[in-house]
Amino acid sequence: MDLGTLIERHGFSHYGFAPLETPLSMAIYREWLDSGHHAGMEYLREHERLKENPQQFAPQAKSAIVITRSYADHPYPAPEFPKSLRTALYSRGEDYHLHFRQELNALADELRGHNPGEQFLCFTDSAPILERDLAYRAGLGWFGKNTCLIEPKQGSLFFIGQILTSLNLKPVAAVVPDHCGTCDRCIRACPTGALDVRRLDARKCLSYWNIEAKGVAPEEIRTKNGDWFFGCDICQTVCPWNEKVFGREQMRREAEPPETEAETLVDDLRWLLTASHKEIERKTARSPLSRARPIGLKRNALVVIANRRLQELRPEVQRSLNEPRLKSLAEWTLAQLT
């Protein structure tokens, strides 16, 4: 069976092939690291040599089958919690590391059946690979000024997965040229100035501070966080290519806080501040929110409470003074509520 036909049978409509070799953007990535733009994500520097030569962890692999999966309408929607909180689009369903990997594994199993003795290894943002570089070389988009990969018919709201294989596959699509032109909406819209042209400074990025960071954001970042509880989609929702694909009205709605009752928002934030870490872990077990860990989600709740001036949660904020890792942030939040 033709490889493309087999991939499409598994429900993947956007895919391409790329040789597994030194990334085209390796020098840019190394300079980004040297500039300290990776903030506290030291694992990115630790993986630098593997990213330069992927065969170090996949010696038999010669090529990558690169597949993208849209999340604008999440294929596995989240349960009711936390719909009152403002979260990145990708996080509003089951963690893609779980469901996307399962889909790729099912495809890989069939590929093994058709290609005995060949290797097929699946990854979804979980291996030391510059996956956007692979996707670019596979003809699945160009590097946007917001650093996301953008595809004319798919926008940028998609996951990228790879199946590394010992098959020697040649690209079947040409590299997509840059269509950003003179547009700089994403750069102008970023509230913290984290974006330059195709360069993100994680030290200023809201998503870094409310997902990846283990500590508390500087005050100048906190005050610009608004009511973003987990992640941030601003640089994507203002992109004309996402407006073209998904409609300006949908992107406008996504750029605004969820339409929920204020009472529901207060109830969800109260639960977060009073729940045990075990309770939060159970609630977020299959959600991307688990990446921030319970202490990180409590931290994020305090920032949202401060920026929304939710006076009714003062008692819960005061209780947070008893948590050493949250004490200084709780003090700041209380100061915003005066």
> Among all residues, which ones are annotated catalytic?
125
Enter the DSSP assignment of 289. G
Angstrom distance (rounded) from CA 184 to CA 42: 30
Amino acid occupying residue 201: D
Structure-block tokens of residue 237:
């929702």
Q: Which residues are CB-neighbours of 250 under 8 A, at least 6 positions away?
A: 72
Structure-block tokens of residue 86:
């403002």
Enter the DSSP assignment of 175. P
Q: What are phi and psi of 285, to 5 degrees?
A: -55, -40
Check if the beta carbon of residue 186 is closer than 8 Å to that of residue 145. yes
Angstrom distance (rounded) from CA 301 to CA 193: 23
Residue 277, Cβ neighbours under 10 Å: how many? Answer: 12
Q: Nearest to residue 176, comparing CAs of 203, 157, 155?
A: 155
H or E element at residue 188: helix 185-189
Residue 23, Cβ neighbours under 10 Å: how many? Answer: 22
